[in-house]
Amino acid sequence: MSAFWSAWVSVIALAVILGCTWLLFATRKSEKHKETTEETLGHAFDGIEEYDNPLPKWWFQMFLVTVVFGLGYLVLYPGLGNFQGLLGWSSHGQWEEEMKHAEEQYRPVFEKYASLSIEQLQGEEAGLKMGQRMFANNCSVCHGSAGTGAYGFPNLTDNDWLYGGNPDAIKASIANGRNGAMPAWGAVLGEDGVRDVTSYVLSLSDREGVDAEAAERGKSQFQALCAACHTPEGTGMQALGAPNLTDDTWLYGGSFEQVAHTIRNGRAGVMPAHSNLLSDDKIHLIAAYVYSLSNQ
């Protein structure tokens, strides 16, 4: 927090407490009006009138206790800008202490599973459940709680992998992330060319109802523009993350218009790296769980 905002928070906090204290004493009755009276304040609601009497003594004293408590809290705990409080406590410090305790408590468990390969972990039910819980916390927002994926997010339960489905490839994807880049070809092909290439791409997976003449026209354009990544046969290239176009599995949908949209406008998929968020041991367990989804 900057010095300005630190001072601003301090002024507001103290002003509120001191203002409430002033209001408390300012509204007290003078000595001659401290006794109860039958006089009212002159207004009524539903036949209910408010007597012009002072606060009960115990109620007034409770207000004072609250003021003292508030000032004491600000002094003992971080409450006045950047001042950390006489006790030296902070929420960040408490979090670090709890994380240190958790690290000491659970390190032996993670070390045990880290010593096993991902293949060996397939027989460790407790380890896979740990991986499942961490998957739910870190991965399910995109891939779904069951790993079945969503529009633009791969299904992890099948055997179709953009970058490979072996243990090392899965672990690398989680740790380092992936950046997929499908260039836009609309300006190069024109709308007619986009639709011709779309027809050819759909024919690679033996799609019924494809315009054969359009597919034939699109074949040469596919070979010139797309084969470098997807291979001349359209079987894809895992080294580049270029998908296999012959298996009828589609990340962004396999309808004619969806495929045409991909060719026309391109795609930019990003899988975030988790190596800066999770330890190697945790990534190891998540990778083991993901591997189990398609190898059950």
The enclosing domain of 131 has a CATH number of 1.10.760.10
Looking at 59, 89, 119, the residue that finishes a domain is 89
58 and 140, same domain (yes or no): no
Computed over its alpha carbons, how large is the radius of gyration of the chain? 34
40 and 103, same domain (yes or no): no
233 and 282, same domain (yes or no): no
pLDDT band at 75 (very low <50, low <70, confident <90, very high): confident
pLDDT confidence of residue 30: 55
136 and 187, same domain (yes or no): no
21 and 62, same domain (yes or no): yes
Full residue range of the structural domain in which residue 40 is found: 3-89
121 and 235, same domain (yes or no): no
Residues 6+ apart with CB under 8 A from 52: 37, 39, 40, 41
pTM above 0.75, yes or no: no
150 and 280, same domain (yes or no): yes
Q: How many domains does the chain have?
A: 3
Please give the structure tokens belonging to residue 85: 């409080």
DSSP string, the chain: --HHHHHHHHHHHHHHHHHHHHHHHHTSPPGGG-S--S-EEEEEETTEEEE--PPPHHHHHHHHHHHHHHHHHHHHTT-STT---TT---HHHHHHHHHHHHHHHHHHHHHHHHTS-HHHHTT-HHHHHHHHHHHHHHTHHHH-TTS--BTTB--SSSS--SS--SHHHHHHHHHH-EEEEE---HHHHHHHHHHHHHHHHHHTTT-TT--HHHHHHHHHHHHHHTHHHH-TTS--BTTTTBPPSSS---SS--SHHHHHHHHHH-EEEEE---TTTS-HHHHHHHHHHHHHHT--
9 and 146, same domain (yes or no): no
Residues 6+ apart with CB under 8 A from 191: 264
pLDDT confidence of residue 33: 54
pLDDT tens for each residue of 215-242: 999 999 999 999 999 999 999 999 999 9
pLDDT confidence of residue 23: 87
25 and 77, same domain (yes or no): yes
pLDDT confidence of residue 187: 96
Give the number of C-alpha atoms closer than 13 A to the C-alpha of residue 24, restricted to the C-beta side. 17
pLDDT at 31 over 60: no
Instruction: Supply the mean pLDDT for the chain.
Output: 90
pLDDT confidence of residue 147: 96
24 and 69, same domain (yes or no): yes
189 and 80, same domain (yes or no): no
pLDDT tens for each residue of 35-67: 667 777 778 888 888 777 777 888 889 999 999
148 and 216, same domain (yes or no): no
Looking at 49, 67, 89, the residue that finishes a domain is 89
Q: Which of 5-9, 12-16, 260-264 has the highest mean pLDDT?
A: 260-264
Higher pLDDT: 36 or 34? It is 36
